[in-house]
Every structure is written in C-alpha cells, then in structure tokens.
Amino acid sequence: MEQLSSSRYGIDEVTYPAPITEPSRSLDYLPTRVACTLSQGSNVTSMDFHPSHHTLLLVGSANGEFTLWEIGMHERLVSKPFKAWDMQACSAQYQIEAHSGGVNDIAFSRPNKQLCVVTCGDDKLIRVWDMHGQKLYSFEGHEAPVYSICPHHMDAIHFIFSISFDGKIKAWLYDNLGSRVEYDAPGKWCTAMLYSTDGTRLFSCGTSKEGDSHLVEWKQSEGSIERTYSGFRKTSSVVHGVVQFDTAHNRILAAGEENRIKFWDVDNTNMLTCIEADGGLPRFPRLRFNKEGNLLAVTTLENGFKILANTDGLRSLLAFGRQPFNVFHVATMPETRDQARKVQSIFPEESTPCIALSTNDSNVIAACGGKLSKVLDDDDLLREIIVRVGFSTTLVRAALVCKRWYQHASEPAFLCRFRERHRSRLLGFYLVDKEGSKVASIRFFPMLPQPPELAVVIHRVVSYSLESYRGAPAKFLCSQSSRVLISLYNQNNRNKFTIGVHNPLCPERGLVVVPPCPHVQIQDVYYRNLLSVGEVDGLSYLHVSVVSNIQLTTSTVHVHMLRHGDGVWRMYHTLDTDQLLDLRQEPKAVFADNKIYIASAQKDIVVLDLNASSISTVQLPQGVEYGDRDIMLAKADDASGVYVIHVKKIQLHIWLHKGGNWLLIDTICLRDMVANLRIPGCEVEDEHNAPLQIHHVGDYAEFVFLEMGRCALHLDVKSMQLHKVYDMTEEELQLGDIHPLMMIWPPTFPVVKDNL
C-alpha cells in the first residue's frame, strides 16, 4: 500500500536524538506532586490549558457547563452553564450540519494559512470546513465510525490522520484523491494520535476491546512502529473505557490507566514511574499538560480534577499567592452530599479549599483565617483531611495537635479506613548471609528514593545493629509489623532455641524474648512452623506442628498461640486427620482470615481452617508445580483468599484463589524490564540461561523480590517497575536470604495527657 513518504513530497527526513540508554535517577522534572484538588460539580469530559497563560485551564463537563479556572488562585474566572436557548430571541453566528449521527472528534487546522475546522463522526466521514461553515473537503474510506483525528503538517505539506473504531489508521492530504496510508493501530480499537511538542515525533495510544492498552511511537515514513512502551497491565476481563494520554516538552509521555498516572521518557520503553496522585482517580483518568510541561491536570472520581506540579510548576503557582506547604498537602474533596453542602456554605464563591498542617509537629497554622477554622472545627471534614495525610508518621503528628484530633486519628474504624487508602510502605530489606548453620552477616538496605517524611525512620533502622548475631548459630525467621524475629540455637542441642524480637523502629523498647515453643517429641514431628500474627495491640504468634506415627497413617496437627502480653503458650486447636500431610517448609506458609495456607506435596496447598476446625486441600492452578524458588504464597487483599505468585522463564503470573476457583489476575512479562537492566550473563534472548527465582513476596502481592544471575531485583507490581537493588560481590558464592521491612502499622500513638 502506498505510504505517506516525506521524501516523496520534498520533506527532509526527521533525525531523532540518540536514545537515552539509562533513564535519569532523578524524576524531579515530572509533575507528580498534588498541588490542589478542585471541584467542577459535574463529570469532567475535557480540559485544555491556555497556550501562553500557563495557569489558565478551560474545563468542560458532562452537564454542558464550561469553566475557565485560574489554577494559581483556585478561582473560577468564567463559568457558563448549559442553557436551552429561546430560538426566537437569538440567532446562531455559525452552525455546521457536519455529520449524520454523533460527532466524535473536532480539531483546528490551518492549511494554506486558512483556519479550518476538521471533524469526524459516526457516518465514517472526515470533513474540513472553513470558519463560515462552508464544507471544503470530505474524506470517505473508513468502514467503521471514525473515533479520532490528528491534523498536522511537515513544512508546507498539510495532512490529517484519522483512526476508526476498528483500529484502521488512514492519512489524507487536503485534496479529494483518497487515503494515502492505511495500517492497523495496536489493539485494533479506539486509538488517539498526538505529535510531540516540536511536531517531529508521532505517538498513538489506545485500548482494545479486551481491555489491553497500547502506547507506541510510529515511523512516519514507513507506517511501522518505532517502539512500544511497556507498563500497562494485562486485564483479566473486558473493561469499558479507553486509556487517555498526553505528551509534553518533547520528553515526557503520560497515560491514565488503572486509577493511576504513568510516565515515560519518549526515548525509553520502560515506564519511569507510576503514581496514584493521593488516590481518587477514575479507571481511565483524563489528563492534560500545560505548554511548559510543569503542570498536569487529571480528572477525579468526585466530579473534579487535580493539578499535579513539579518544582517549576509549584513556583508558577506561588506567583499567585497560595504557597503549598512542605510537610504534607491535603486538598479536600467532599465524599458525601452533606459534606459538599457544608463546604459550599462556608465557601459559597470559591472552590474546595486546600488545607495543610504546619511543619511544627504540635501546632496548626494559626494565621489561616476564620474560614479555615470553620473547616477544622467540623469533625466530618477534619476526618476527610486527616485520612489523606499519606504517612503513619504524619498521622501521629496530626494526633498531637489536640485531644479531639487525637481521638479522630486513633479511632479503630478510622485506622481501618486509613489502612485501606494507604498501604504500608516498604522501607527496605535485610540481606542475611550464612556460613553453614551460622550467621555471617545481617545487613539492611533502604529502598530509595524515600520521601523526606520518612528520613528519620530510615536513619533509625540503618543505625540499628544486629552485629551481635555474626558467627552465632542463629536463623533470621521473618520481619513482621516492623519487628524482626531471630532464633538463636543451643549449640549442644539444636532442638532448643530462643527467639528474640527486635524493633528497629523503636529501639528503646529493647529485645523481647519469646517464651520457648511448646515441646513435642522430635522423632514424631515432621513439620514445624512459627507464624507471626499482627494484631491491633501488637504481635501474637502461632506455632504449628504436625505429629505422625511411624507408619505415617495418622497425623495430629497442634496449633498453639502466644497472644501479645500473655507470656504463656496456650493450645489453640488440635486437629486429627488420616490424610497424608506432605507439608513443605518452602514456600512459606501464610496466615489469613484465621486460615493457615501451607504448601504440600508437588502441587497442593493444605488449608487449616481454625474457625471450622477443618483441613482441606487445594490444588495449584493447572500446569503449576512447586520447583526451585519459583512459587510463593501471599495473603489476598480482603484476607478471604490467597495469592500464588509463579515465575516461569521470564514471566510472572499472579493467581488468586477465592470462592473455590483460581483466577489469573495478572501476567507480567519481564523481558523488556530485564533487558534494560543489562545484567551480566543473563541474556533474555535465551530464557533458559536467564533463570528467575523468587525470594520474597509482599502481602497482597504488591511487590516481589527476585534473584537473577548475581543480582537481587525488586518488582513493584502496582507501578510495573523493576529495579536492581543488590549486586553480589566476587567473594559471595550465593545470594543471601531477603527479608523486607515494612513501615510500622498500626502507628504507636503517645499517651494522652489531660492538658493536650
């Protein structure tokens, strides 16, 4: 098929800058900080910044209203609601009967220095009009309704790209000679095209009917794909919606998917970062950069939009007299109609206010005026503010303001809501090296970068030494709820050991020794495990042991429990079974919803239901079997199921068992991510020579620590980012055990004083 070739029409070939081999470690140039959240009052359907006044934003909404916002002042400059006109009392200046059926896209173009309007619609046509409504061109050739258009020009050659609902891309010159180009968009469904700011590079982004999203750059002279950007998640069901995207500064690509904003460098296919923007985004948020690329407008679920900014963007907002605060910035978005009415009664002429706390841990900003006091005096609004602070450390600071704030912040129901909104943050990981049965070293490596709010916490953990275990016959059991459990064995009798609980985040609490585990005859035991259980008031422990006769024909499962502050192990359950419980120590058992999930045999999971006093067996998904560190278990989000994370070759599969069935939640191909890391000796072209092993999986399968070659890797499942976190030295023969350390939860609140 004939291609739209630039050389044919006398256009010089575009030379792109050399690809960036490694993305910059600093992402400060990306607009990722939430500067404010504003309420439009209806679902936002379109947004566009002024081309020269970079803080002016025009917003259109589903109720027909459009509003011109001054972002720096958080003010509506102009707002025009939809009105049913009295047609006898007015006359239209221009009216174009453009298409039969809906008009799906509209754009301006200037061929031959004449300003024109380009439209497309359900009648499969693309049409060009002058500003008096006179039709100049009509392009016909699509076999499906036209979804989007992208007018552009190269020197004196003007043309239009069009994409139909069946994913066909065509290009038209301003004549009536038909399409010059035809090829398929990835996904073969709804797709939009954009050019880079300098007009030299062409990108497209869209979603297939199956819900798979695609972002690519095109070779314009060939009609082929230059590069495909990774980072979109494989959906498990059909999703109604289309991914939205934008580009800025000839450098940044951004797309809205999975209630998040994802960023790419245009020269690198791997995603730079992924943010939730403090939550509250729709499944496919709309987004728009300003011309400078330092502000990004993003739609929200609550009929509004957020403004994200980088450092330069924040400076531009400061010019209008509203300085964002440094510690944390919370833009309130009412979540109920009652709360919305309360805000409207306080701010009848203004948008939803931005509330912040001072850098002083114990004082509220005093000079914010009477309106702020009205907001902070309202318990409902105050809870909506505090729940958005983001960090448990800042939650404690909010509790120090006064007794009323303390009561809100420490309320159990509020803490549950806070936990759902903000998962515990991964602070870092311990790497435990062993020499035989003795500990060679226990080293902590922080995950970087970390927000400034956690700098003190990270320093405290790094300063906490576990050197006393070097050379000792010990075993690092686990890290749970910011505690570290280490067992120290008796050198004369390995069956006797002492378990110590360390608290690196609160070293002043000292070492806590767990009472000796319940004694059983070792010759009769072929499985034993210690599980830590996080509770509101601290850690409790479950000790599971399976005792069998010599013939292995009958077995008894003993479950003892040591509750926080009890000091004595107590019998929790005894279950007799004639099933052969061929339990495995690896992968590690998981406790969730009062059920213990233990790997068994070659492809089973034994479920000990402590509520029902029953034992059942679940088979792994079809085709999945236990191997050499290729499978891990993790508790599910709602604690009523269990995840199985399985790595095969260069792919990671995440399965969820719930309601008696297995569901494949995600399949993550690590090929491009691993190739970008350039790990010596691990070429992804030969997957058999690039084995992946799983070292640890976080709760809710939010992250995975992997081993590949002589490196430790960290995969953030949510943001789809893979980073190398440790390189083995030449002296190390094997990678040690990895144990992640999470931020403490629930937070420890200070004792309330009467004068607080």
Cα separation, 204 vs 527, in Å, equals 56
Residue range 218-242: mean pLDDT, rounded: 75
Write out pLDDT tens, residues 65-116: 888 888 888 888 877 775 554 545 555 444 555 677 778 888 888 888 888 8
Enter the tokens of residue 636: 């599910």
Residue type, 43: N
pLDDT recorded at residue 7: 37
Residue range 163-180: mean pLDDT, rounded: 86
Enter the tokens of residue 653: 């599969």
Residue 413: pLDDT over 60: yes
Residue range 591-614: mean pLDDT, rounded: 89
- SS3 for 536? coil
Strand 135-140 and strand 146-154: pairing? unpaired
- SS3 for 189? coil
Q: Which of 271-285, 315-329, 539-553, 646-660 has the lowest mean pLDDT?
A: 315-329
In this prediction, residue 4 has a pLDDT band, given cuts at 50, 70 and 90, of very low
> Which residue in the block uniquely carries the two structure tokens 């082929």?
224
Residue type, 403: K
Q: Which of 380-384, 516-520, 565-569, 620-624 has the lowest mean pLDDT?
A: 516-520
Write out pLDDT tens, residues 686-734: 555 557 899 999 988 999 999 998 899 999 998 888 999 999 988 888 9
- SS3 for 41? coil
Q: Given strand 66-70, what is the order of strands in its sheet? A: 44-49, 56-61, 66-70, 75-80
- Range(s) of the chain covered by CATH 2.130.10.10: 33-81+94-324
Enter the tokens of residue 109: 């173009």
Q: Which long-range contacts (CB under 8 A, 24 or more apart) does 554-560 make?
A: 554/578, 555/579, 555/580, 555/581, 557/581, 557/608, 557/615, 558/518, 558/520, 559/596, 559/608, 559/610, 560/517, 560/518
SS3 track for 68-113: EEECCCCEEEEEECCCCCCCCCCCCCCCCCCCCCCEEEEEEECHHH
In this prediction, residue 748 has a pLDDT band, given cuts at 50, 70 and 90, of confident
Contact 453, 435 (CB under 8 A): no
Return phi, psi of residue 34, to 5°: -75, 110
Cα separation, 138 vs 124, in Å, equals 11
Residue 328: pLDDT over 50: no
Residue range 467-482: mean pLDDT, rounded: 82
How remote is the C-alpha of 11 from its chain's centroid?
42
Half-sphere exposure of 344 (CA within 13 A, CB side): 10
pLDDT recorded at residue 210: 79
Residue range 228-246: mean pLDDT, rounded: 72
Contact 471, 433 (CB under 8 A): no
Listed residue (711, 717, 607) closest to 652, CA to CA: 717
Helix (H) or strand (E) holding 560: strand 555-562
Write out pLDDT tens, residues 274-289: 999 988 898 889 999 9
Percent of the chain with pLDDT over 90: 19
pLDDT recorded at residue 532: 75
Residue 177: pLDDT over 70: yes
Percent of the chain with pLDDT over 70: 80
Cα separation, 361 vs 393, in Å, equals 10
Cα separation, 429 vs 723, in Å, equals 14
Residue range 178-185: mean pLDDT, rounded: 83
Round the CA-based radius of gyration of the chain to a whole number and report it.
Answer: 30
How remote is the C-alpha of 750 from its chain's centroid?
32
pLDDT recorded at residue 340: 42
Listed residue (632, 606, 746) closest to 698, CA to CA: 632
Helix (H) or strand (E) holding 374: helix 370-376
Residue range 367-383: mean pLDDT, rounded: 67
Q: How many CB atoms lie within 10 A of CB 36?
A: 21
In this prediction, residue 684 has a pLDDT band, given cuts at 50, 70 and 90, of low
In this prediction, residue 555 has a pLDDT band, given cuts at 50, 70 and 90, of confident
SS3 track for 381-422: HHHHHHCCCCCHHHHHHHHCCCHHHHHHHHCHHHHHHHHHHC
Cα separation, 267 vs 249, in Å, equals 13
Cα separation, 700 vs 645, in Å, equals 11
How remote is the C-alpha of 539 from its chain's centroid?
28
Strand 295-299 and strand 287-289: pairing? antiparallel
How remote is the C-alpha of 655 from its chain's centroid?
19
pLDDT recorded at residue 46: 87
Listed residue (34, 31, 78, 82) closest to 58, CA to CA: 78
Q: How many CB atoms lie within 10 A of CB 115?
A: 10
pLDDT recorded at residue 241: 66
In this prediction, residue 641 has a pLDDT band, given cuts at 50, 70 and 90, of confident
pLDDT recorded at residue 278: 87
Residue 219: pLDDT over 90: no
Q: Is the dihedral of CA 226, 231, 232, 235 positive or negative?
A: positive
pLDDT recorded at residue 552: 67
- CA 395-400-406 angle, 5° bins: 70
> Which residue in the block uniquely carries the two structure tokens 């009769």?
524
In this prediction, residue 334 has a pLDDT band, given cuts at 50, 70 and 90, of very low
Give the Å distances, CA to CA, from 354 to 73, 296, 315: 11, 18, 17
Residue range 171-178: mean pLDDT, rounded: 82
Enter the tokens of residue 558: 């003993």
Query: The pTM is what?
Result: 0.59
pLDDT recorded at residue 494: 57
Helix (H) or strand (E) holding 531: strand 525-535
Residue 656: pLDDT over 70: yes
Strand 252-257 and strand 260-265: pairing? antiparallel
CATH class of domain segment(s) 33-81+94-324: mainly beta
Half-sphere exposure of 37 (CA within 13 A, CB side): 24
- Name 671's Cβ contacts closer than 8 Å, sequence gap at least 6: 650, 684
pLDDT recorded at residue 705: 96
Q: Is the dihedral of CA 198, 202, 207, 212 positive or negative?
A: negative
Phi-psi region of 41 (alpha: psi -120 to 50; beta: other; left: phi over 0): left
Residue 22: pLDDT over 50: no
Residue 122: pLDDT over 80: yes
How remote is the C-alpha of 624 from its chain's centroid?
27
- CA 557-560-566 angle, 5° bins: 175
Strand 56-61 and strand 474-480: pairing? unpaired
Give the Å distances, CA to CA, from 659 to 34, 212, 604, 656: 39, 26, 17, 10
pLDDT recorded at residue 548: 79
Residue range 615-644: mean pLDDT, rounded: 88
pLDDT recorded at residue 493: 61
pLDDT recorded at residue 525: 57
Enter the tokens of residue 98: 């453009």
